[in-house]
């Protein structure tokens, strides 16, 4: 609706500008002026039609690019969530290994103290 409204607004402005001017040649008949005006309106209509097609094509391209960006964002979020889970699992495993190593060292020290007595 907004794009069509803009095109209609431009078209009406073009008509007002071209119809608001007087013919450059006062000797030209009324019909000559109307013919020139009609030719201008038709040319402008063709230009507006081309512009409308280009705007629609651009809209489709932008829409598809935004869709791809959303898909990439969801993939990135999924990979970030996976890496956070992996980091948490690795931290838990590292803490368990460190605790096991500390327990083994404590047991070894206690055993060595026991042997020295």
pLDDT in tens, 29-40: 668 888 888 999
pLDDT band at 18 (very low <50, low <70, confident <90, very high): low
pLDDT in tens, 51-64: 999 999 999 999 99
pLDDT band at 48 (very low <50, low <70, confident <90, very high): very high
Please say whether the beta carbons of 14 and 44 come within 8 A: yes
User: Residue 69 region, left (φ>0) first, then alpha (ψ -120 to 50), else beta?
Assistant: alpha
102 against 4, higher pLDDT: 102
Residue whose structure tokens are 């890496």: 83
What is the residue extent of each domain of the chain? 2-19+28-116
């Amino acid at each position: 609706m907004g794009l069509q409204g803009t095109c209609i607004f431009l078209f009406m402005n073009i008509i007002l500008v071209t119809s608001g001017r007087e013919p450059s040649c006062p000797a030209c008949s009324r019909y000559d002026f109307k013919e020139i005006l009609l030719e201008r309106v038709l040319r402008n209509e063709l230009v507006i039609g081309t512009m409308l097609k280009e705007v629609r094509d651009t809209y489709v391209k932008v829409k598809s690019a935004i869709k791809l960006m959303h898909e990439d964002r969801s993939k990135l979020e999924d990979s970030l969530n996976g890496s956070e889970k992996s980091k948490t699992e690795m931290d838990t495993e590292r803490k368990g290994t460190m605790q096991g190593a500390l327990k083994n060292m404590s047991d070894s020290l206690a055993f060595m103290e026991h042997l020295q007595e």
